[in-house]
Each structure stands twice: as structure tokens, then as C-alpha cells.
Copies of this chain bind each other. A is one copy, B any other.
Amino acid sequence: MKLQDKYPLYLANEAQQPNTDLKVTDKYTGEVATLVALADAKTIDKGIEWAVKAAEPMAKMASYERQAVLQHCVDRFTERKDELAYALCIEAGKPINDSRGEVGRLIDTFRIAAEESVRMTGEVQPLDISPRAKGYQGIWKRVPIGPCSFISPFNFPLNLAAHKIAPAIAVGCPFVMKPASRTPLGAIIMGEVLAETNLPKGAFSILPAARDGADLFTTDDRLKLLSFTGSPDVGWDLKARCGKKKVVLELGGNAAVVIDHDADLDDAVERTVFGAFYQSGQSCIGVQRILVHDQVYDAFKAKLVKRTAGLIAGSPHDEKTFVGPMIDVKEAQRLDNWIQEATAKGATLLCGGKREGAMLEATLLENVDLETKINREEAFGPVAFLIRFSDWHEALRIVNDSKFGLQAGIFTRDIFKILDAWDDLDVGGVVVNDVPSYRVDNMPYGGVKDSGIGREGIRFAMEDMTEIRNLVIRRRSV
């Protein structure tokens, strides 16, 4: 299997190759793997102009027509799944097994959207609730919000782009998408598949772009929604500059898992390793903070360190690799520095900690000073640390002591502790008996506090991509 020499951008449903200015590297070898067309401001402007033109024909598509487009994607992604996984493995440095897993979720996401596309229901609502409204009847439905602006991240180049594209098609919104510059291939292949359908011209543009000149994605008032997945700092800045449009931000966090004394430790270790080190911890919901009950702290730690130390690192193409490279050397250096800051301020290194280029070992710490970056900021890499607790409510307070709030995991069987966590944890989702890193693509997903605004999960994204349009009927005679 092999990448193409060059990849186009998609402007108004069509492949174009104005240049090959974007070099996409193999994240493991660091070498240029392929070349991709880069859109300039003028091209983006055209994409938006076309999206505006496509808004009405898309809104008029029948439900089954939108479903057919999405079903075509499901079918084609299934046929091309090896190619998609291979591209992902190279452009993101994602271990091949995880790459295959993401392709599976890509297909799930489009299938859910295909199913939802024929289920955009509205409501008949009684309005005659007081004498002045006698004879009035209300009915509301949802209509597409209009042209959307999508910016997707490097860590799930397929599925996190899919979580914007698929619901947009499901409701009938045209869009312009800027995929992450380091990993544009996934979105481009999705563009290739969409170009096989009969979507109205202008329905989609996939436009890799340098940050300079990409401002229109944020500021252009013809776009009615900005949906961004990426880092908190960038996200909140976009919100301030996005004008009149609605904003959805799926940002990051420093997710915590809490292991109570009644947990099945072997199982909890297994899941924690997955949560912390899966695709080198480069997940918005990767486990960063591991709270363990005093009674089982030592036992859990011993098992966790042993299991982590045994993780196989190396080439993402190797079937056995669990830990591949981080997205680039700069990111690996950043996190390396954080580890060093932490140990300098008293943290104990339990395993890992070494770095070679973009390869950072799966690293565990304890006794971390909570004011250091490794606790306060989003690590977004293969590093986690342990915290000891002795009381459930104390544990919940520690989890909440963060500017972020995306998901949290709790290993406990106690219904009352679970309900307290559901009530009190200031996050978008609480995962019981598992790590916070778990997501199914139909569930409401998104954060509070600095972790973002809005929810994805197809149906939930579809709500954000629509407006309620009410119909009130005054009866002649009553």
C-alpha cells in the first residue's frame, strides 16, 4: 500500500490541484510522505460563496436523498478501509490497530448520521394555554442553519472530521472544512468519496490552509455556525472573533479517573493503561490524572507501573506497537519539559520519561505538585500521574479542581457514589467502571468550563446545525 504522490483540495465538490504546497510528513520517520494542495484566502472565499449557493438546494433535498449520500459514504469507507487506515497510520503516526479502530468509528459515525437523517422530527404543541390564546395551535420543525465552518484536529483526522461532516449532511447544511494541516489526508479522502455523490454543487469544500489566510473560516458572516475541535486556547480565541455565528467548541482537558477501593484492580489497570497511553495519549479524553483510594493505592500502582513499562513502542506500522510517536518533535519536547518541571518540583518518576525525537515513553508519575503544568494544563501525550485519596467526596473535589471539564471515569460499584459523581462532577460525561477516554459515537459528547461549549454525537450536533422554525396557526373561529 502506498500514498498517492499528491492530493487535491476539494472546492465546491470538485478536486482541484492548484499547488502542492502542503508537505505531509510520515510522523514516525519524519520524512515527507506526500504533497497536498493548500487553499489561499481567495479559494476559501469561493468555497464560502458556493456554500451559500448550495444552502437552498440542500435544504430542499428529501430525507432519503440525504440518507443516500451518507449511506454511500458508509459503503465506500467500508470498501476503502485499509487505505484509510494506512493513510492515518502515516499522517498521524497512529498505531495501525488504532488506525483501523478509527476507521471503524468513522463508519459508525456516518451510519448513525444516515439513520438520523430521516428522523429530524418536530413537535405539535398546544398553544391554547390561556384565554388569550384560544384557537391558536403551534407546530415547529427544524431547518438547516445554513453554511457551516468546520475546523478539525490532527488527533482523529477521520472521526472528528466525520462528527462535523456527517451531521451537516444529515440536516442539509453545506460546509467548508479546514482539516488539520499536519493530517489533512483523512478529510481529503472523505472529500473524494463525497464528490462521488450528487450533492448540490457547493455543498462541501475541504480546504487545507495555512493559519494565515484562513481567517475567513472564523470571521466570515455568511457562515452561520463555527464548529471547531482542537486546543482550548485557539478555540476560545475563535469564539471571540466569530461575529454573529453560533459556536461549538470541542476542546481538551486533563481528564481524571477515580479508582475506589472496591474496584477490580486488574481490570482497572488494563483500562487505565488504555486511557492514558492509547495513541500516545493524544486524545481530548486521555487519562491524565489517576486518583486511587488509599487502601488500594500501592497495589494498583505496582500493577500499573508493571503493565505500563511493558507497553511496546515503535513503528506505528507494526501490528504489535501500542505507543507510537507524538504528532511532532515540538509537542514531544513540550511534554518532556513538563515532566522535567514536575520532577524538579518533587514528582517521582515511576516509569518512562525518556524521549527520542517525537517518541516519548509511556510515563507515570506520582507526588506531583498540583500547581505544575502536568496537572493544570492539558498534557495531550503519554503521561499520567497518580493521586492518593481516602474519601469519595474528596476525590470528586480533586477531579473538579481543574479548569477543564470534559469526561471523568470512576471505578466504583456503589450506586450512591455513582449518583453523587453524576450530580457533582462538573464534566460533560461520567463513565462508570471505565476510563474517561471512552466514547461511543451516538452519545452526547462535549465539555464544560474551558473544555468547550456544545455537544456532538450526531443528533446533538444536528440540533446545533438547525434552527427551530415555528408555525403558529390562528383558527378562524373558536
Binding site for B on A (CB under 8 A): 59-60, 62-64, 67, 101, 104-105, 108, 112, 115, 118-141, 143, 236, 239-241, 243-244, 246, 412-416, 418-419, 422-423, 425, 427-434, 438, 440-446, 448, 450, 453, 455, 460, 467-476, 478
Contact = CB atoms under 8 A, between A and B. Distances in A.
21 contacts: A63-B128, A64-B129, A64-B131, A64-B133, A64-B134, A104-B130, A115-B118, A119-B119, A122-B123, A136-B440, A138-B440, A139-B139, A240-B243, A413-B416, A416-B476, A419-B473, A422-B469, A433-B476, A438-B474, A444-B470, A446-B468
A444 B139 CA distance: 10
A139 B430 CA distance: 10
A478 B416 CA distance: 11
Contact of A432 (B105, B108, B473): B473
A139 B127 contact: no
Contacts of A442: 118, 125, 127, 129
Contact of A472 (B60, B134, B241, B438): B438
A415 B478 CA distance: 15
A237 B130 CA distance: 37
A128 to B, nearest CB: 4
A138 B63 CA distance: 13
A221 to B, nearest CB: 10
B460 A428 contact: no
A468 B428 CA distance: 7
Contact of A470 (B240, B416, B430): B430
Given A413-B415, A422-B141, A63 B129 contact: yes
Given A121-B125, A123-B123, A240-B243, A429 B130 contact: no
A63 B126 contact: yes
Contacts of A471: 418, 422, 429-430, 432
A423 to B, nearest CB: 8
Residue of A132, A415, A418 ringed by the most chain B CB atoms within 10 A: A415
A127 to B, nearest CB: 4
Given A444-B468, A468-B444, A475-B419, A62 B128 contact: yes
B120 A126 contact: yes
Given A112-B129, A119-B126, A124-B123, A432 B444 contact: no
B419 A137 contact: yes
Contacts of A478: 62
Given A123-B123, A124-B140, A139-B139, A129 B431 contact: no
A135 B450 CA distance: 31
Contacts of A448: 467
A463 B82 CA distance: 40
Nearest to A439: B472
A429 B470 contact: yes
A64 B136 contact: no
Residue of A446, A467, A476 ringed by the most chain B CB atoms within 10 A: A467
A126 B442 CA distance: 9
A306 to B, nearest CB: 23
Contact of A62 (B134, B431, B438, B469): B134
A98 B250 CA distance: 46
B443 A127 contact: yes
A136 to B, nearest CB: 6
Contacts of A415: 412-415, 418, 432-433, 473
A433 B241 CA distance: 41
Nearest to A133: B440
Contact of A438 (B101, B108, B115, B136): B136
B432 A472 contact: yes
Given A120-B126, A137-B419, A413-B414, 11 more contacts: A115-B115, A118-B442, A133-B440, A422-B469, A427-B469, A429-B471, A432-B474, A434-B472, A444-B470, A445-B470, A455-B468
Contacts of A123: 121-124
B443 A470 contact: yes
B119 A67 contact: no
Contacts of A438: 136, 472, 474
B141 A124 contact: yes
Contacts of A429: 469-472
Nearest to A141: B124
Contact of A129 (B118, B139, B430, B433): B118
Contact of A467 (B118, B136, B137, B428): B428
